[in-house]
Amino acid sequence: MSGPEKPKVIGEELSDERIKSFLAVTPYDTEENEDYFVLIRAYQSLREGDFERFVGFFTEAGRDLNAINGEGQTILDHVCEHRRSAAYAETLKKAGALPAAEVGR
């Protein structure tokens, strides 16, 4: 909340610890793939550069960049549906993300 006591902060630099905290989020629905949930939350919450840093932490942690959601999509499939998310899609591709059609499961 912003106000006279707490001014609004725009463009705040996020620490590595804050970005890594997204690795600990858990889905509300126990049927949802945890890795997909973590990726979607980070995508929805982080700016492009911070998301790129997060993807590095995510892969270093041995998490599944090609996790599939309940609709049969990977995070790359989802991101590619948004025309203003080209930088996010490129970050994912560089890290090894694939569309669901190419994931051998």
Quote the number of domains for the chain: 1
Sign of CA dihedral 92, 82, 24, 63: negative
Share of the chain above pLDDT 90, in %: 78
Q: What's the CA gap between 56 and 38, in Å, rounded? A: 13
Helices (H) and strands (E) in the chain, counts: 5, 0
Backbone dihedral region for residue 62 (phi beyond 0: left; psi -120 to 50: alpha; all else: beta): left
Q: Is residue 9 part of a domain?
A: no
Please say whether the beta carbons of 74 and 98 come within 8 A.
Answer: yes
Q: Is residue 1 part of a domain?
A: no
Q: Is residue 28 part of a domain?
A: yes
Q: What's the CA gap between 24 and 42, in Å, rounded? A: 11
- Write the pLDDT tens digit of every residue in 5-43: 655 445 678 899 999 999 999 988 888 899 999 999 999
Residue 90 belongs to domain spanning: 16-102
Entry pTM: 0.85
Q: Is residue 25 part of a domain?
A: yes
